[in-house]
Amino acid sequence: MACVAQPRRRRERLVSHHRVLLRGLVEPEPSPEPEAGPGPVPTAVGQESSGPYPAGKFLDRLRDTHAAVRAQVEQGLSLREVARRLGLGRNTVRKYARAASPEAMLHGQWQDRTSKLDRYRPYLEQRIAEGCTNLSILHRELQERRARCAYSTLRDYVHPLRPGRRPAASRPPMARPPSPREATRWIMSHPDHLRDDDRLRLKTLLARSPELTATTAHVRTFATLMTNREGERLRGWIADVCADQQCGLASFAAGLITDLDAVVFGMSTEWSSGPVEGRVNDLKALKRSMFGRAKLPLLRKRLLLIAASRRP
């Protein structure tokens, strides 16, 4: 297992250096073509919006995500699969799926509440219509009128009053790019055991990185040697890895050389130290289960009973 875990950790560190390539694997879904018609008309100063909630990027993103979640749930997909496709948490997907409409998820500042600045709204609308949109000036003028409000409160209150504020263009939620650990799993897995989409993304990633391409080739060759017990080919594999400066497996190959005879023997025969390691693991588990206070006679009896119960 150490021969497999060590290159996995090295591959994960190597893939981490290619995070930019991983982000490039995420392709945004094409947005639907807008229908022909008149463009959006900016809200005039003092004109109330058509709905009870102010328009903005947050509300647009909320509606887009709600529509995407409900569409996939209605197709019969599970919450786990929807969360994986959209890059959201399962609890978040559950909230969107249970909400009948996006407005049902709005709370707090999105509710129609009164504000201490409502009495100054006509004055603010007049100053904004005159072209004064500087918050510092408006805040100072309100203080001269003995209005007690924080700068952040005025900023949030004035934001929907400004002319020409158009809602941001609706964008579909972006999928989460694969992590270095996921890309490492693609490299370490047998190609036949990968899903079609993972196989396609791995092919795209390798086409963009010669270094990862060389690494994948050496890793799969090493896996073939272990699976087919072809330990006699290990020396040739080590020579190829040391000669290849792009794969990043030179340190792993150098570690195999320090105990090469044992590694070749272990990869050539069907004998394994797995049973011995299993007994050692049983003994450690017994000691932990008894808080390290059991003496040798009791540990010996319990260990022998476990070994006898596992015999075929």
Q: How many whole angstroms separate alpha carbon 178 and alpha carbon 141?
A: 52
- Out of 101-115, 169-183, 233-247, pick the least confident: 101-115
Q: How many whole angstroms separate alpha carbon 188 and alpha carbon 153?
A: 54
Q: Could you say which DSSP state residue 43 is in? A: P
Arithmetic mean of pLDDT, 141-158:
87
Contact between 282 and 303 under an 8 Å Cβ cutoff? The reply is yes
Terminal-to-terminal C-alpha distance of the chain: 24
| DSSP code string of 176-245 | PPPPHHHHHHHHHS-GGGS-HHHHHHHHHHHHH-HHHHHHHHHHHHHHHHHHTT-GGGHHHHHHHHHH-S
pLDDT for res 289: 87
pLDDT for res 161: 81
Confidence of residue 14 (pLDDT cuts 50, 70, 90): low
Q: How many whole angstroms separate alpha carbon 55 and alpha carbon 52?
A: 9
Task: Delimit the domains of the chain by residue range.
Answer: 2-25+181-268, 57-161, 285-309
Confidence of residue 16 (pLDDT cuts 50, 70, 90): low
Arithmetic mean of pLDDT, 6-20:
60
Question: What does pTM read for this prediction?
Answer: 0.44
pLDDT at 10 over 80: no
pLDDT at 48 over 50: no
Per-residue pLDDT tens over the stretch 173-199:
556 677 888 888 988 898 889 989 889
Identify the three-state secondary structure at position 303: helix
Per-residue pLDDT tens over the stretch 67-87:
999 999 999 999 999 988 888
Q: How many whole angstroms separate alpha carbon 30 and alpha carbon 40?
A: 21
Percent of the chain with pLDDT over 90: 12
Residue whose structure tokens are 């994986």 = 84
Q: Is 291 left (phi over 0), alpha (psi -120 to 50) or beta?
A: left
pLDDT for res 21: 61
pLDDT for res 239: 93
65 Cβ contact list (under 8 Å, min separation 6): 86, 88, 96, 173
pLDDT for res 290: 84
Most confident of 7-16, 153-162, 166-175, 195-204: 195-204
Identify the three-state secondary structure at position 279: helix
pLDDT at 167 over 60: no
pLDDT for res 173: 54
Greater model confidence, 166 or 297: 297
109 Cβ contact list (under 8 Å, min separation 6): 156
The gap from C-alpha 45 to its chain's centroid, in whole angstroms, comes to 42
pLDDT for res 37: 44
Which helix (H) or strand (E) is 264 found in, with range? Answer: helix 260-268
- Out of 159-168, 221-230, 295-304, pick the least confident: 159-168
Distances (CA, A) of 242 to 6, 33, 92, 238: 17, 53, 48, 6
HSE value, Cβ hemisphere, 13 Å, CA-based, for 38: 3
Greater model confidence, 43 or 23: 23
Arithmetic mean of pLDDT, 267-290:
86
Residue whose structure tokens are 């009128």 = 145
The gap from C-alpha 120 to its chain's centroid, in whole angstroms, comes to 46
Per residue, what are the HEC states of 103-143? HHHCCHHHCCCCCCCHHHHHHHHHHHHCCCCCHHHHHHHHH
Contact between 252 and 7 under an 8 Å Cβ cutoff? The reply is yes
Which helix (H) or strand (E) is 157 found in, with range? Answer: helix 151-158
Burial of residue 35 (number of CB atoms within 10 Å: 0-12, 13-18, 19+): exposed
Mean pLDDT, rounded, of the chain: 78
pLDDT for res 174: 53
pLDDT at 156 over 60: yes
Burial of residue 58 (number of CB atoms within 10 Å: 0-12, 13-18, 19+): middle
Per-residue pLDDT tens over the stretch 207-221:
888 888 989 999 999
Greater model confidence, 176 or 101: 101
What Rg value do the Cα atoms of the chain yield, rounded? 32
